[in-house]
Every structure is written in C-alpha cells, then in structure tokens.
C-alpha cells in the first residue's frame, strides 16, 4: 500500500497549479500539513490562529461594511489575542448574502461585499444577474451562487485565489479521507452540472476533480444559469418547456451513467462518483428494476453532497443509500462518504469511513455551535453551525449558517485528531430550505421523471 506521505505528495504534484506562488499566513493551514486530520492540537491551533487573525485583520481594514459591523460590536483586530477571542469576531448571518438589490445596484452590492479593490468592470443598464456575474468573472473574479427553494440566490464574491484555495481544500479533505483509494489513473463521474458551464458553486467547485483524476464524465453537461434555475422553478410556459426538456434529458442521463457503469464494471476499472446523491439513487433504482448488480468492491467510491431529498416529500436515509450502493454497485460503506459544505465557506467536512462522522478542518477553519443567544453550546449539544473561515479573503467568511448540528470534541468512531459533526446535518428552525442537491433536483424535475 502506498505510504500516506507519498500519497499526498502525489496529489500535491497533480494540483500544483492550485498552490499560490507564496503561501500567505491564512493559507499555511491547508497547504503545509500533509495529513490535515492528524495535526497535533497545538500545531493546528497555531495554524488556525494565524490564519483567522490574518483574515480578520484583512477584512477589517479593507471592507467598509464589515468594519462598520465590527465597530458596532466594539471589536478590532487588536482584541484578537488568542483562539478564545475568536468569540468576539462578529458573525454574519448567511441570510445576509441573499439581501442583494435588483438591477444595476446588484453590481454595487457585489462590489461592496467584496473585500478590497476591484478592476474596472463595465455594467450596462439591462444586464441580468448572470451577465453581471460573468462580467465580474471575466475581470478575474469567481462569483458563484447557490439557491434556496425560493430561487433567491446566495451570491458569494470569491477572487481566484480564494476559489483555488477552496478547490484545493475540498480535494485534499476528500482524498485524505479516502486514503489509500485515490490515484490519478482512474475514472470519475460528476453528478452535478459541468463546472465549466455554470456559476452554481456546488458544480463549479468540482472543477478540481478534473485535475485530480484522469478521466471524468459529467452528468449534467449543459449550461446552468441563474435565469434557467429561476425559470425551471416556475410554472410559466418557459418553465414547463425547460422542465419537459430536462425530464427527457434525465432519462438519457440515467442511461448514460448505466452504460458507463456497465463498461467500467466489465473492464474492472477503478471508479468514483462525486455529487448529488439523488442522481445515483435513480441510477441504482433503474439497475435494481432490471435486477442488475455490479461488483466494484474496493475499486469504487462515492462521495455525495448537498442533501438527501429524492422526492418532494421523501428524504432518503443516508444509511439506506449506503446499503443500496453496497448491494447494487458492490461498493463497501467505507467507500461511500458524504461531504458537508456551503457556498459561503471554504471548509469541507467529510465523513470518516469508520463511523461516518463529519470531520472538521482545524488548521484554517474554526467551527462553533451556537444557541439562540449566539453563545457557544457544549460539545454534544444541538445548536446552529457557525464558522470562521481563514481562507476567505475576498469576503468576510465569518458566518452563522442556517444549519442545525451537534459537534463532538473527538470522533466516537476513529482516531483522527479533529472534532466532528454528527453524520447528518439538518436545517435549523426558521431557516429556509436549501441544499445544492435539492436545487439540482428541482431543476431536473426528477420527481416527475422518477
């Protein structure tokens, strides 16, 4: 079996282009340690403090709205002297990133949320959100979004460096967790929109998969725009036509994936799936209907993300999904992991194979679980997930999410050194439903085709 150090060095070689020319203090925690889940606590805290303090100072000095927010809370970077002081860093509710105005002011809103200076960007009077985003992106940014079921998007302005850091972080988190499974010469399937044809964050961030694995197929290989998402969720003629076309496309997509699986199974190839679980669920349902069983065994892995709704009224239990993967594809539960992350952050929590607990990154990311008063709850108690993200340099990544979690200091199932979240994350009371897989499910109208 390949040694772990060599394994990660191979990955770093593959992802060389994601490394910045010189690593900034906020990036050391992701780029320097080889095994991010086994950094000794003291060392991890040193990385983390350096990273988050650096990011906080940067936003305080270069972002007017966040500076005002800090002043209202009477906090300056000088007040942050230890990790204990992270509690003082003002947190932005995730809803804030949905409060953008319409029309041309949307461009100004993006510019204001963005930390630092922007290059010249020319905006026309009638530019749609998508056009405005594309203009920002042409100017060197990576504006991406995710959506609630209302179709009101969460827009996050990343610069290229933050986006690359995030891509590297997701790849390193997953590949470390599936050790020794990963190798470059294998086959992969993205169960998300083509990263090159969408600004949807969950799709876009998968572009690193193309650099980490030699041969990649994409389930949804068409352009997915904000306007298309909104239109697909509505019931006017345009929306119905889009959904009809999507339903037809879905059947072909399922057939394509099955064909691909048959071929890889026959050739005993090594495969992996990354993306929305409901697509694979429908693939497996189709295989089960035909009594078709495959035997990938240790040659297969599945990494899911984005939520577990398969129909409007039906949520798929994660364990049942793993069992299906094992029974139909022959992939063991240890190779079937879920990933938790969000468009607002660059920290990626991945299931451990032993107990399927979500392991938190600790070298550049500080997770908190809060009660209704915004105070930290004890380990093991339920509360709202919040985080301080040292990698976010183009927007203040100090955020209270709408998710309800339980955090444990140590993983009950494995020896890795990081705290964990319970395997499944749910939306907190009062939060809008969301999840990138749910968004995709609605666009694809999978209910109707299922």
Partner 1 sequence: MLREWKDKEYVPPKQLFQLFIRGGFALTKVLLKNLSNLKNVRAERISYTPPERMYDLPEYKEGMKYVKSDEKYLRPTLYCNPYGKEIIAMANHLGAFEKEPYEYARDAFEFVKRKIILQIIPLDGVVATLKRGYGTCLHKISLLIALCRVAGIKARYKLYALSVIQQWYDTFIGADPLMQEWYNALGYFMLHGEGEIYLDGKWFVADVGPTPERQAASSIPITRFGEDSIGIWTQAIPGSIMRVESLPLGLGIASKLLMEKISPGSVAKMNNNVLRQYKEGRKILQEMGEEEYDKMARKGYKMPTIELEAKNIIFE
Six token digits for residue 295: 């035997």
Asked whether position 316 contacts partner 1 by CB under 8 A, the answer is no
16 or 72: whose CB is closer to partner 1? Answer: 72
Task: For the beta carbon of residue 253, count every other beta carbon within 10 angstroms.
Answer: 21
**∠ at Cα 265 (260, 269), nearest 5°?**
90
Asked whether position 102 contacts partner 1 by CB under 8 A, the answer is yes
Least Cβ distance, residue 71 to partner 1 (angstroms) = 11
Least Cβ distance, residue 379 to partner 1 (angstroms) = 19
Size of the residue set binding partner 1 (CB under 8 A): 64
Cα dihedral 159, 109, 89, 93 sign: negative
Cα dihedral 350, 351, 352, 358 sign: positive
Closest to 192 (Cα-Cα) out of 301, 276, 309:
276
Dihedral angle of Cα 279, 282, 286, 288, to the nearest 10 degrees: 110
Closest to 424 (Cα-Cα) out of 342, 333, 345, 356:
356
Task: For the beta carbon of residue 421, count every other beta carbon within 10 angstroms.
Answer: 21
Tell me phi and psi for residue 153, to 5 degrees.
-85, 160
Among 17, 78, 82, 236, interactor with partner 1 by CB under 8 A: 236
Dihedral angle of Cα 242, 248, 249, 250, to the nearest 10 degrees: 110
Among 25, 46, 57, 65, interactor with partner 1 by CB under 8 A: 65
Q: Which stretch binds partner 1 (CB under 8 A): 93-101, 197-205, 294-302, 409-417?
A: 93-101
Q: Which stretch binds partner 1 (CB under 8 A): 26-34, 58-66, 317-325, 338-346?
A: 58-66
Asked whether position 382 contacts partner 1 by CB under 8 A, the answer is no
Give the pairing of strands 300-305 and 271-275.
parallel
Asked whether position 112 contacts partner 1 by CB under 8 A, the answer is yes
Applying the rule CB under 8 A, the residues between 145 and 204 that interact with partner 1 are 148-152
Q: Are 368 and 379 in contact (CB under 8 A)?
A: no
Asked whether position 377 contacts partner 1 by CB under 8 A, the answer is no
Six token digits for residue 372: 């209704």
What is the rounded distance in angstroms from the CA atom of residue 129 to the CA atom of residue 63? Answer: 23
Least Cβ distance, residue 277 to partner 1 (angstroms) = 19
Least Cβ distance, residue 420 to partner 1 (angstroms) = 23
Asked whether position 98 contacts partner 1 by CB under 8 A, the answer is yes
Q: Are 134 and 141 in contact (CB under 8 A)?
A: no
Among 269, 333, 427, 449, interactor with partner 1 by CB under 8 A: 427
Asked whether position 124 contacts partner 1 by CB under 8 A, the answer is yes
Integer-rounded Cα Rg, in Å, for the chain is: 21
As beta bridge partners, residue 338 has 304
Among 23, 34, 83, 118, interactor with partner 1 by CB under 8 A: 118
Task: For the beta carbon of residue 251, count every other beta carbon within 10 angstroms.
Answer: 12
Least Cβ distance, residue 146 to partner 1 (angstroms) = 14
Asked whether position 134 contacts partner 1 by CB under 8 A, the answer is no
Asked whether position 62 contacts partner 1 by CB under 8 A, the answer is no
Among 2, 20, 40, 68, interactor with partner 1 by CB under 8 A: 68
Q: Which stretch binds partner 1 (CB under 8 A): 27-35, 75-83, 291-299, 421-429?
A: 421-429
Asked whether position 450 contacts partner 1 by CB under 8 A, the answer is no
Asked whether position 290 contacts partner 1 by CB under 8 A, the answer is no
Least Cβ distance, residue 141 to partner 1 (angstroms) = 12
Asked whether position 74 contacts partner 1 by CB under 8 A, the answer is no
CA 324 distance to own-chain centroid: 24
102 or 267: whose CB is closer to partner 1? Answer: 102
As beta bridge partners, residue 272 has 188, 301
Least Cβ distance, residue 223 to partner 1 (angstroms) = 20
Binding site for partner 1 (CB under 8 A): 64-66, 68-69, 72-73, 90-93, 95-96, 98-99, 101-102, 104-105, 107-109, 111-114, 117-125, 148-152, 230, 233-236, 312-313, 370-375, 384, 400, 427-433, 442, 447
């Amino acid at each position: 079996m390949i040694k772990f150090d060599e394994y990660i060095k191979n990955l770093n070689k593959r992802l060389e282009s994601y490394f910045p020319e010189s690593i900034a203090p906020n990036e050391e925690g992701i780029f320097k340690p080889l095994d991010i889940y086994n950094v000794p606590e003291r060392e991890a805290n040193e990385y983390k403090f350096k990273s988050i303090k650096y990011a906080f100072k940067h936003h305080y000095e270069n972002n007017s709205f966040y500076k005002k927010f800090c002043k209202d809370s009477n906090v300056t970077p000088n007040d942050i002297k230890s990790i204990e002081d992270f509690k003082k860093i003002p947190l932005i509710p995730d809803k804030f990133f949905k409060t953008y105005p319409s029309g041309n002011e949307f461009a100004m809103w993006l510019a204001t949320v963005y930390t630092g200076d922007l290059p010249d960007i020319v905006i026309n009077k009638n530019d749609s959100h998508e056009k405005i985003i594309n203009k920002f992106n042409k100017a060197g940014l990576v504006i991406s979004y995710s959506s609630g079921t209302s179709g009101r998007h969460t827009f996050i302005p990343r610069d290229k460096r933050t986006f690359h850091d995030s891509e590297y972080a997701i790849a390193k988190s997953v590949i470390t967790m599936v050790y020794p499974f990963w190798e470059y010469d294998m086959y992969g399937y993205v169960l998300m929109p083509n990263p090159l044809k969408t600004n949807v964050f969950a799709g876009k961030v998968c572009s690193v998969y193309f650099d980490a694995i030699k041969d990649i197929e994409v389930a949804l290989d068409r352009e997915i725009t904000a306007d298309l998402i909104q239109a697909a969720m509505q019931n006017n003629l345009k929306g119905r036509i889009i959904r009809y076309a999507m339903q037809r496309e879905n059947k072909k997509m399922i057939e394509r994936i099955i064909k691909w699986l048959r071929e890889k199974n026959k050739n005993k190839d090594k495969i992996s799936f990354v993306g929305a679980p409901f697509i694979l669920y429908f693939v497996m349902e189709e295989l089960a209907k035909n009594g078709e069983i495959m035997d990938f065994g240790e040659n297969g892995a599945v990494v899911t993300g984005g939520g577990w709704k398969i129909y409007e009224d039906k949520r798929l239990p994660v364990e049942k999904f793993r069992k299906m993967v094992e029974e139909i594809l022959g992939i063991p539960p240890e190779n079937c992991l879920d990933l938790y992350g969000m468009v607002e952050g660059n920290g990626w929590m991945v299931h451990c194979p032993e107990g399927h607990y979500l392991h938190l990154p600790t070298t550049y990311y500080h997770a908190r679980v809060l009660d209704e008063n915004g105070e930290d709850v004890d380990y093991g108690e339920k509360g709202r997930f919040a985080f301080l993200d040292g990698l976010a340099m183009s927007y203040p990544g100090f955020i209270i999410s709408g998710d309800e979690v339980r955090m444990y200091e140590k993983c009950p199932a494995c020896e890795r050194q990081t705290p964990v979240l319970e395997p499944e994350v749910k939306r907190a009371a009062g939060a809008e439903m969301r999840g990138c897989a749910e968004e995709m499910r609605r666009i694809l109208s999978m209910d109707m085709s299922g």
